[in-house]
Structure 1
Amino acid sequence: MGESAVLVRDMAEADREEVRSLLVRAYEEYSARMPDRWEAYKESIEASVDAEGPKARLVAELDGRIVGSAQLFLGSESAYGRPELDIRTPILRLLAVSPSHRGRGIATEIIRESARRALSWGADTLHLHTSDLMASAVRLYERLGFERAYDKEFYNGETLVKSYRLRLAESALV
């Protein structure tokens, strides 16, 4: 990862605009593949920085700059307004790494800290949701030991939102 270590910490109030910008830059690569939905998705991503619900908002800092972020929710109701998914353990959402800093293990460090926090909150699993649109993210999750949780999947319009879970007691991440 180079000479510098990545520091994963809680987002500070002063980080909000930098995180908002980072999220848009990180997810913008999908805009061409969702032209009819991109503007609404972008607005939702931007609004998430201020929205109620996350138990924790994390940032990854490298050389004093924010290069990654994520949000942790305590379950499917607070994460998606979907209590019927019956997820009562932490859910990782909106994991983002600056496009210019990808491939340096930053996402892995954010996921590692998320897993540690989930354990410290008494959870036995960490969940996340994604879609086929985010193929490189899916490969990362599977490499880190996440497995499909078919019973926690749902559709957003015509898009299958796939569910993955990491069994924390069995994970090499923590």
Structure 2
Amino acid sequence: MSDIRVRPAVPAEYEVVGELTVTAYTVGGHLDDEPGYAASLRDVAGRAASADVLVAVDDDDQVLGSVTVAAAGSPKAEVARDGEVEFRMLAVAPGAQGRGVGEALTRAVIDIARQRRAHRVVLSSRDRMTTAHRLYQRLGFVRCPERDWSPYPAIPLLAFSLDL
């Protein structure tokens, strides 16, 4: 991960981040039953208006991945409660997968949560995003089935949390 840096996205990168996110979700088969979600994934400026959008970049400043970090009660938070930080829309460019990009982004979220003195980091993930689930569990996240939910009947989201 030494060649990967995580930093806030800048407006000039929003289009790249949006397309990278849609591509990663499409390649992973995560938009097959919810194609309308692509518009939300592309709307990086909208996300950045109420949340933090981070990018992972290489030594050439090429965007390799992205994640959105939302405070409890903000428009982009779905499961966060008071004192928690939530992250969403974590995506890694297909060509950069397996290089530690997702881990670098997740660790950056944890660092932000600690800086904000949050007591927990939470997220929701599609039931079939098993590679991401393994990463989260390796970093200490645990399942929170009591927070599982579905934005639509055929789209189950599993909740995970990490106590800080």
8 A Cα contact 1:129 1:161, kept in partner: yes
**Structure 1 residue 30: Cα displacement:** 3.9
Letter in 1 for 2:9: M
Q: Compare CA radii of gyration and give the structure with the larger one.
A: 1
Residue 42 of structure 1 aligns with which residue? 38
Letter in 2 for 1:144: L
What pairs with 1:47-66 in structure 2 (closer than 5 Å)? Answer: 47=43, 49-51=44-46, 52-54=49-51, 56-63=52-59, 64-66=61-63
TM-score (norm: length of structure 1)? 0.83
**Structure 1 residue 75: Cα displacement:** 1.6
Residue 136 of structure 1 aligns with which residue? 131
Match of 1:153 among 145, 148, 154: 148
Point out where structure 1 has 5 or more consecutive residues left out of the alignment.
Answer: 169-174
8 A Cα contact 1:69 1:110, kept in partner: yes
What is the identity percentage for the equivalent residue pairs of Structure 1 and Structure 2? Answer: 29
TM-score (norm: length of structure 2)? 0.88
Aligned residues between the structures: 159
Q: Deviations over 1:73-93 (max 9, x none)?
A: 00255324x5xx562211011
Residue 117 of structure 1 aligns with which residue? 112
Distance 2:31 2:62 in 1: 29
| Residue 28 to residue 34, structure 1, CA distance change in 2 (3 Å) | closer
C-alpha root-mean-square deviation of aligned residues, in Å? 1.8
Residue 81 of structure 2 aligns with which residue? 87
Moved beyond 6 Å, runs of 4+: none
